[in-house]
Chains A and B, each alone.
Chain A
Amino acid sequence: QSALTQPASVSGSPGQSITISCTGTSSDVGGYDYVAWYQQHPGKAPKLMIYDVTNRPSGVSNRFSGSKSGNTASLTISGLQAEDEAHYYCSSYTSSNTYVVFGGGAKLTVL
């Protein structure tokens, strides 16, 4: 069982917006503004999409945005495109001795 809870799957049609949630505790998501989101296509390495809750690394589309409220962080993808179909993982800094925790991942299907 992963430390952070994500829905197993989400789906949307091209052009629509979807949101993926990531729920933790006050020891991780709720306690620090260090939530990150990663995109992983099958057989590929994860790619950093969002860091520090809301920030996008250079080169990441502005269709990707992040937010947080309490112990739950969210990734929103607007204007869905076929190439967005992938697994998405959240992570957070944690005060526990595991230093970083991940969610179980959410599979995004673009219908």
Chain B
Amino acid sequence: GAGVSQSPSNKVTEKGKDVELRCDPISGHTALYWYRQSLGQGLEFLIYFQGNSAPDKSGLPSDRFSAERTGGSVSTLTIQRTQQEDSAVYLCASILRSGTSGNTGELFFGEGSRLTVL
């Protein structure tokens, strides 16, 4: 697609349920990021995928959070047993592989998935 696509755009769930958030990066981008943004706050890094390398999971807040990236393209962020403090906007971004001619280091963001845990 032309840009980074995220779904669902809005998700309301009950405390204790599991949720899956999906990200379709820009075709050809080999690096993908997930960030979390609470209301009126900055972006909190969650996880980073680069090609076939092991992902950097250092930002995941607890073992209830996990993410995978299948086939080097689509990524799914899963939150198990959701809690009210998980309510936030989850942003996905992709970037062209570094070292490639024309790579500016610019991240391309999706519009985000707004999660509300009741």
A and B from one complex: no
List residues of chain A with CB under 8 Å of any chain B CB: none
List residues of chain B with CB under 8 Å of any chain A CB: none
